[in-house]
Each structure stands twice: as C-alpha cells, then as structure tokens.
Amino acid sequence: MNFLNGVFMAHIKVAVLVGSIRTASLNRRLANALMRLGPSSFVFEEIGIDDMPFYNADLEASRPETVRAFTDQIRSSQALLIVTPEYNRSIPAVLKNAIDWGSKPTTENVWRDLPAAITGASPGAIGTAVGQQHLRQILAVLGATVMGGEAYIGFKRPDLIDEDGHIDDESTRDFLKAYMDKFASLAQRLLRK
C-alpha cells in the first residue's frame, strides 16, 4: 500500500526524459536523485531520446522503429518528468526532437493530458530558468499539465549530487523531496487513464 501524507496513492508510471545525452551529465545525476526521492507510488521508466532521427514528415508513412518504441512508452505512462539543461536559453535540440515526434500526428499526440514536472541543473548563474520557460510553453500547447512553481538546481560545485543520485546537501535534498511529493499529488489528481 502506498500512502503520501496519509492519503492512499495508486501506482503511477512516470516517464523520465533527460535532455542531456552526454555521459557525465549533471542533469542525469539530478534525474537519478529525483527518482531516489520519489514516493513509492511512482514507478519510473527512463526513456532514451538519442536514437531517433530528426523529425521529418516524409518518414510518417513508415515511422522508424525507434520512434514507435518511444511514443509507445510515453503513451503507456501516466506522468512525465523532464530534467534538462538549458542550451542557449532554450532546450537542447535532442529533447525538442523527441517532443516533436510525440506531437504528431496531432490526433495521436502522446503528451496530451499528461501531468508533468520539469526541472534542470546548470553550473550557470541563473540555472535553467529560461530554458524551462520555453519547455513549459511547448508542453502547454501540446496539452500536458505542467506543475506550477519552479525548481532550478545550480551546481555550484560538481559533487553536489553524485552519479547515483546521492545529494550532498540537506537543504537541496529537502527541497527536491518536497518537489517530488508535490508532483506525486498532482499526478494522483490528474491521473491519465
């Protein structure tokens, strides 16, 4: 049985997308930390985004297998967690490409009605604030419900979160735990069937 603040929670399959595909990604570490902190009602599934070709409507007649697998996984999820860096005040192209594939054809848009949480990490001064605003705008037009509030994680020191997602700072841990609890409540309320 799963309870959060005394309330029963059904199991929720959460698709996790990481907007950086580099091996030593800080955002991957943050995603690992969030998965550790998520409630037991969440069943996380990390979904790769680096094996799809660039979106091209010419490929729609026979969608590549990697694209089919990606959209099937999102379609079978009940919530979405995106952890992404900011690239030049927007989101990385590899993430946008995955979102574009999932948005077409419009009648089969896989993002519609998905409760979503977005966050990101950066060593930069203003974190991923602007990139997240872009992502929020994109997901809104696609019909996902993005959790309110904002979470920007500044990696002032590279060992803040290790590769396994252990956080070396209590206030950051508390903040991210509260963030995941809030996401769990949202996902529970908006559960996509």
Ligand X SMILES: Cc1cc2nc3c(=O)[nH]c(=O)nc-3n(C[C@H](O)[C@H](O)[C@H](O)COP(=O)(O)O)c2cc1C
Closest contact distance (angstroms) between CB of 179 and ligand X is: 18
Closest contact distance (angstroms) between CB of 68 and ligand X is: 27
Task: Tell me whether residue 5 or residue 88 sits nearer to ligand X (CB atom).
Answer: 88
Stretch that binds ligand X, among 6-14, 18-26, 60-68, 170-178 (CB under 6 A): 18-26
Positions 125 through 164 that interact with ligand X (CB under 6 A) = 128
> Cα separation of 175 and 36, whole Å?
13
Burial of residue 181 (CB within 10 Å: 0-12, 13-18, 19+) is middle
Closest contact distance (angstroms) between CB of 91 and ligand X is: 10
> Cα separation of 57 and 100, whole Å?
11
Task: Tell me whether residue 24 or residue 57 sits nearer to ligand X (CB atom).
Answer: 24
Task: Decide if 76 contacts 118 (C-beta within 8 A).
Answer: no
For 19, 68, 163, 189, 191, the CA distances from 145, given in Å and listed in that order, are 19, 23, 29, 11, 11
Q: Does 20 bind ligand X (CB under 6 A)?
A: yes
Q: Which residue has the tokens 């950086």?
A: 20
Positions 63 through 92 that interact with ligand X (CB under 6 A) = 85-89
| DSSP-assigned letter for residue 167 | B
Q: Does 31 bind ligand X (CB under 6 A)?
A: no
Stretch that binds ligand X, among 52-60, 110-118, 119-127, 181-189 (CB under 6 A): 119-127
Residues that bind ligand X (CB under 6 A): 20, 22, 25-27, 85-89, 122-124, 128
